[in-house]
Amino acid sequence: MSRQNDAAPIIIKRKKIVQGGGHHGGAWKVAYADFVTAMMAFFLMMWLLGATTESQRRGLADYFNPSIPVHRISSGGEGMFGGVDLETRAQVGPTTPDEADAESGADTQAETQSFEDIAQRLSGMGGESPVLDAALRHIITRQTDEGLVIEVFDLPGAPLFADDGAEPTLVLRQITTVLAQVFSLAINPLAIEGHTRTYTVVQASDPRWTLSSSRADRVRQLLAEDGFDPARVARVTGHADRRPADANPMAVRNNRLELILLRRFTRN
């Protein structure tokens, strides 16, 4: 055999020298610290789950959820986590005078805007049809401290009630149908008030009081027939000719109805 086959393999050993003194294998300490921290966080979470109510846990979850904007006002309470979340807060109401004032102002502003939307809705219906245009000529709106007043009145040659009585004409039926629709844009209670013109004193019986009351109540019935919730009616009254809209007490313009969406929040 040749000498090449008899030669032994050559093995090279490389020795790694680690310098740095006597501190060896410190990585396990970092891993142990991470483990202890994780266990501490776990037990803290378990304690929180047992020490809080369901509503408080929902509040905590909402706070750490990045998909929900955070707009919170904390409120005090007894012990740790004595505050309440927004859902509970909505049920119990504001807890300080400042919060009450802020919420009242926001509610009032929202209500005023709702009234403006209803008034604009009524005015925006013009032009849809000649029949509707004729009906809308009988309506004006205004806002007062009491609420949104929708005044429905007679026009010369176009009365709201037939034969100077309490039987509604076609134009009044069209008006109440429209009003029942727009009233669905709000939840405010409704007051219905009837007014009449002055009648001559030579009549055997004075119809003003009974007529104004009967007309107001007839409008209440018409609204209910058109789907308006009867539970929202706060009052139905007749004022006879005591509050004329026209300086001439005999003018037909004084024959009118005022439908008032009453404010639920007081204006400042």
Residue range 199-248, pLDDT digits in tens: 876 556 778 999 999 999 999 999 999 999 999 999 999 999 999 999 99
Q: Are residues 194 and 221 in the same domain?
A: yes
| Greatest mean pLDDT among 50-54, 61-65, 72-76, 205-209 | 205-209
Q: Into how many domains does the chain fold? A: 2
Q: Are residues 113 and 236 in the same domain?
A: yes
Work out whether the CA dihedral 167, 172, 174, 176 comes out positive or negative. Answer: negative
Q: Mean per-residue pLDDT for 61-83?
A: 45
Q: Measured in Å, how far apart are the chain's first and last C-alpha atoms?
A: 117
Instruction: Name the more confident of 169 and 1.
Output: 169
Beta bridge partners of 238: 194
Angle between helices 170-182 and 97-124 (to 10 degrees): 140
Q: Are residues 140 and 80 in the same domain?
A: no
CATH number at residue 198: 3.30.1330.60
pLDDT at site 19:
56
- Is 170 a member of any domain? yes
Which range marks the domain in which residue 61 is found?
27-92
User: Helix or strand or coil: residue 181?
Assistant: helix
pLDDT at site 143:
95
Question: Mean pLDDT in the chain?
Answer: 81
Measured distance CA(195)–CA(252) in Å, rounded: 11
φ/ψ of residue 17, rounded to 5: -105, 120
174, pLDDT greater than 90:
yes
Q: Are residues 124 and 253 in the same domain?
A: yes
pLDDT at site 152:
97
Q: Are residues 33 and 59 in the same domain?
A: yes
- Is 8 a member of any domain? no
pLDDT 10s digits, 1-57? 455 555 566 666 666 555 555 555 677 788 888 888 989 888 888 887 777 776 666
Burial class (CB in 10 A: 0-12, 13-18, 19+), 183: buried
91, pLDDT greater than 90:
no
Q: Are strands 233-238 and 190-195 parallel, antiparallel or unpaired?
A: parallel
Predicted confidence band of residue 76 (pLDDT cuts 50, 70, 90): very low
Q: Are residues 246 and 146 in the same domain?
A: yes
Residues 6+ apart with CB under 8 A from 84: 55, 56, 59, 75, 77, 92
45: tokens are 């979470």
- Is 19 a member of any domain? no
Q: Are residues 72 and 118 in the same domain?
A: no
Burial class (CB in 10 A: 0-12, 13-18, 19+), 132: middle
- Is 156 a member of any domain? yes
pLDDT at site 7:
59
Q: Are residues 111 and 79 in the same domain?
A: no
- List % helix, strand, coil for the chain (3-state, nearest 5): 45, 15, 40
Q: Are residues 47 and 159 in the same domain?
A: no
Considering the entire predicted model, what is its pTM?
0.62
Q: Are residues 82 and 164 in the same domain?
A: no
DSSP symbol at 10: P
pLDDT at site 72:
37
φ/ψ of residue 116, rounded to 5: -65, -40
Radius of gyration of the chain (CA): 39
Q: Are residues 71 and 199 in the same domain?
A: no
pLDDT 10s digits, 179-206? 999 999 999 999 999 999 998 765 567 7
pLDDT at site 225:
97
pLDDT at site 12:
66
- Is 13 a member of any domain? no
- Is 147 a member of any domain? yes
